[in-house]
Amino acid sequence: MLRDYARLGLLLAHDGNWRGRQIIPATWVLDATSVRLDVWPGTATPTEGYGYQTWILPGERRMFMLRGVYGQRIFVDPQSKLVMVNTAVHKLPDDRPPLWEMDALWSALVRQLGG
């Protein structure tokens, strides 16, 4: 499952293109993962925006994540093609404290490896 989540993240990082084959229309991926006024970061949660089942991360560059009900996450930075998957889960859907450590790790990885 971890590899499948990573593959999905890479597919989205490449705007729907998988090894030269367009699987998802690029315009749909861009629309689903780009900042728009109705999903501007801070509108869905204090820090994120929301669009088409993707959480739009704040910042100058387009980055987003997919978030599971039990805390699973797939972070995606299309500019650098960087993807990070977190499969750890909480026992209950309501038992979801913010994963600050995961957010901090993602930010550090983007700074170090994202160019």
Give the CATH number for residue 85: 3.40.710.10
* Domains: count for the chain: 1
pLDDT of residue 32: 87
pLDDT of residue 58: 81
CB 90 within 8 A of CB 81: no
pLDDT digit string (tens) for the chain, length 115 residues: 889 999 999 999 999 999 999 999 999 999 888 876 666 666 666 666 666 778 888 888 899 999 887 778 999 999 999 999 988 777 776 555 566 778 889 999 999 998 7
Domain that holds residue 52: 2-113
Q: pTM, whole model, 2 decimals? A: 0.83
pLDDT of residue 48: 66
Q: How far is it, in rounded angstroms, from Cα 115 to Cα 106?
A: 14
Q: How far is it, in rounded angstroms, from Cα 71 to Cα 49?
A: 17
